[in-house]
Structure 1
Amino acid sequence: MSFPWANEYKPTNPFMKWMDEKLPLPRFVYNSVGAGYPVPRNLNYFWNFGILALCCLGLQIVTGIILAMHYAANATVAFDSVEHIMRDVNWGWMLRYAHANGASAFFVVIYIHIFRGFYYGSYKAPREMVWLLGVVIFLLMMATAFMGYVLPWGQMSFWGAKVITGLFSAIPLVGEPLQQWLLGGFAPDNAALNRFFSLHYLLPFVIVGVVVLHIWALHIPGSSNPTGVEVKSESDTVPFYPYYIAKDGWAVGAFAFLYCVALFFFPNTLGHPDNYIPANPMSTPAHIVPEWYFWPFYAILRAFTADFLFIPAKLMGVLAMFAAILVWFFLPWLDRSPVRSSAYRPLYRKFFWFGLLPCVLILGYCGGAPAAEPFVMISQIASIYYFAHWLIILPIVSAIERPDPLPYSITEAVLGGEHVPPMANSTAPIPTHD
């Protein structure tokens, strides 16, 4: 979407004029994050999590590159190389903890970012491509995080790699060869460690490329907003710079403070103690569990405990685990409500706060719990509701609910009713207020 009232980039310095003609990078930055990019004036703090995700990605890439200089991707010495980083490399302990806790921080930010999209309908037209690219980024993040979890080559790293890659063996006909191809053998060893290290180093740069597409797709229709009402006039927007640069700066500062508290005061809280034991193929941990950010999907995987007709339980669990994310690709078409924001959808709002959100939290708790009762039964109930929410409840609710009246414009929602035009349902532009 083009905004006719957007400020144009007009360099006055001779060098900047020359640069703008030969390589219009300053114009690109100005139109992307400067005064040339109008943004809805009513964005709340949930819209700060996009820039926080970008900061987390940058943090992971920088710390990961430095750690790769000291890490040895060899099953014999991988664990010792991590200990070498922690004990002998200058500031190595901080880099390793920054990278490990940065992964957790990244997923916290991304999960809030995703659930903001669920609540405010950010997946609806005309922003379907923004949403689809976002789901691709999440899948790439999960693959990158899993491969990174294997690299320390502790007990949980080794057995996590064995269990997760073993899931592919459930695929009929091609499952066993696919598992062997992924591992480079019959069990996790040097070949698997080298492959995971290479891909773990490569995928963040692939994520950067998809993030560029994600931001590009966002700038075509413009940012969404809490009301779900599209921009109608200049009074509905403010320039990204300086208003949202300042707001994002405050959010980054608050995030950095909380991140540093975790980094310096309890860096091992989210890690598993078994991963500080060298990998031992002859000793299976009592409770194999992935990192916390995989727990909801791990609970769905474990919810299938009995074969159904000719379909093995293991295969159904694998399919359901991947389907739990793949269903997000279809949200723009499953949700047929003409209203985007749940702030104006009273019925769906109840299902979100008292259905979907508790369901995901319960799945997360059960995914980190032992594979025993009552956790398995609770996982099964929560898994049924999770898929029912997207495939049954959402389409039905979007068809039958009566949304609350929408504000005529973003300006009305922010400044109040006195700024409503005489004919609220007309297409006349709202007067600009200085």
Structure 2
Amino acid sequence: MSFPWAQHYEPKHPFMRYLDERLPLPRLVYNAIGGGYPVPRNLNYFWNFGVLSGLALVLQILTGVILAMHYAANQTVAFQSVEHIMRDVNWGWMLRYMHANGASFFFIVIYIHIFRNLYYGSYKAPREMVWLLGLVIFLLMMATAFMGYVLPWGQMSFWGAKVITSLFGAIPVVGQSIQVWLLGGYAPDQAALNRFFSLHYLLPFVIAGVVILKIWALHIPGSSNPTGVEVKSESDTVPFHPYYTAKDGFGIGVFLLLYVVMVFFAPNYLGHPDNYIEANPLSTPALIVPEWYFWPFYAMLRAFTVDFILPAKLWGVLAMFGSIILMFFLTWIDRSPIRSTNYRPLYKPFFWIWIVDVLVLGYCGGSHAEEPYLMISQIATMYYFAHFLIILPIVSTIERPKPLPNSISESVLHGEEKESAPFGAGGVMPGTEPQPAE
């Protein structure tokens, strides 16, 4: 979106003018994150998580590249090479813990970012392309994280790879061929390790490319905001810098503080102890589970225990992948013209029930495949799909939303600007205009 009141980049230094004429990189940066990019003035801290996800990606790429210099993608020495990184490489233990915990923090940030998009309706037009590109990033993240979990070649790495790749074998006709193609054989071995390592190294750069596309797509309609009301005038916006760069700086500080605490004081808290045992194809772990950020989907996979028309395993695979694919159609499933859940009194309780449902699925996914967890997983899985396929379409049709504010400024100042000059226009706050001398 083009804002006529946006500040334009005018370099003052001769070298910057020279560079801007031949390679307008400073102009690009200024228009993307500087004063040339006005954003709604009412963004809360949930809007920090887009920047935090970019920071997490950069941390993962930097630590991953250095770790790759010391890792050996060979099934006979892969486990020992990880121990070599931990024990012999200078600061290798810190780099590995940063990378392993960085993946968890990346998913924490992304899940909160998805929550914000769902709650404030940021998936609705005209930002549906931003939402779709975000889901592509999420899928690429899941693939990257899964293949990275295999690389240490511990017990959970090996058996996790065996279980997850076997899911493709449930697909009729072509399933076995796809499974063999993925692994390079009939079980995880040297070929699988080579493939997973090369793809794990490549995909973060693909994610970075999609992130650039997402930022590009975001700058066309502009950022969403908590009210869901579009920008109407200059008074509705402030320059991204310095207002939101300062706000993002605070968020980055909190993120890094928590990240450092986890790396130095609880580096293995989110991992599985069995992965410190070298992979043994002849010894099956008592509980095979993926990393915690896959638990809700793993619960859906295990929720189907009875063959009905199709094999139960195939139903589980369809549910696991369908739970994400369903998100791609959310823009068209939710027909409500109101974006923000704050103004949707009927939908709001159903949204929070869905959040609890996902948390329950996560808890069941990390538990043993036994009762009562299987029954709870089945109920939670049914509600997950009912929320999007039944509840949301009906609610969006019959709901009577609360009245929206007339503008973003009105929502911020509670109507104080209705009869006065807008704050920011001419740099004068309403009620502070200079008075004539008596």
Q: Give the shorter-chain TM-score range.
A: over 0.9
Distance 1:71 1:420, change over 3 A: same
How many angstroms does 1:420 deviate by?
Answer: 2.7
Q: Distance in 1 between matches of 2:293 and 2:336?
A: 31
Counterpart residue type for residue 264 of structure 1: F
Give the alignment's Cα RMSD to 1 decimal.
Answer: 1.3
Aligned equivalent of 1:236: 236
Q: Distance in 2 between matches of 1:264 and 1:296?
A: 28
Aligned equivalent of 1:289: 289
Q: State how 1:173-322 maps to structure 2 within 5 Å.
A: 173-309=173-309, 311-322=310-321
Aligned equivalent of 1:341: 340
Q: State how 1:83-232 maps to structure 2 within 5 Å.
A: 83-232=83-232
Q: Distance in 1 between matches of 2:413 and 2:194?
A: 58
How many angstroms does 1:430 deviate by?
Answer: 9.7
How many angstroms does 1:418 deviate by?
Answer: 2.5
Counterpart residue type for residue 312 of structure 1: P
Aligned equivalent of 1:323: 322
Aligned equivalent of 2:358: 360
Aligned equivalent of 1:22: 22
Counterpart residue type for residue 248 of structure 1: D
Aligned equivalent of 1:396: 394
Cα offsets for 1:89-127 (capped at 9, x unmatched): 000000000000000000000000001000000000000
2:380 to 361, 364, 382: 382
Tell me the percent identity: 76
SS at match of 1:388: helix
Q: Distance in 2 between matches of 1:319 and 1:12?
A: 58
> 1:232, 1:430 within 8 Å by CA — same for their partners in 2?
no
- 1:5 equivalent to 2:29? Answer no
Q: Distance in 2 between matches of 1:21 and 1:421?
A: 44
> 1:63, 1:98 within 8 Å by CA — same for their partners in 2?
yes
> 1:334, 1:391 within 8 Å by CA — same for their partners in 2?
yes
- Point out 4+ residue stretches in structure 1 off by more than 3 angstroms: 429-434
Counterpart residue type for residue 46 of structure 1: F
Cα offsets for 1:378-420 (capped at 9, x unmatched): 0000000000001111111111111101000000000112323
Cα offsets for 1:156-177 (capped at 9, x unmatched): 0000000000000001111111
Counterpart residue type for residue 228 of structure 1: G
Q: Distance in 2 between matches of 1:338 and 1:133?
A: 22
TM-score normalised by the chain length of structure 2? 0.96
Q: Distance in 2 between matches of 1:158 and 1:416?
A: 58
Q: Distance in 1 between matches of 2:378 and 2:83?
A: 40
> 1:343, 1:349 within 8 Å by CA — same for their partners in 2?
yes
Q: Distance in 2 between matches of 1:396 and 1:244?
A: 37
Counterpart residue type for residue 349 of structure 1: K
How many angstroms does 1:431 deviate by?
Answer: 9.3
- 1:51 equivalent to 2:51? Answer yes
Q: Distance in 2 between matches of 1:87 and 1:418?
A: 63
How many angstroms does 1:421 deviate by?
Answer: 5.5
SS at match of 1:418: coil
SS at match of 2:74: coil
- 1:406 equivalent to 2:404? Answer yes
Q: How many residues align?
A: 427
Structure 2: 5+ residue runs without aligned partners?
430-438
How many angstroms does 1:13 deviate by?
Answer: 1.5
Q: Distance in 2 between matches of 1:312 and 1:143?
A: 25
Aligned equivalent of 2:60: 60
Counterpart residue type for residue 366 of structure 1: C
Distance 1:288 1:27, change over 3 A: same
Distance 1:23 1:96, change over 3 A: same
Distance 1:19 1:391, change over 3 A: same
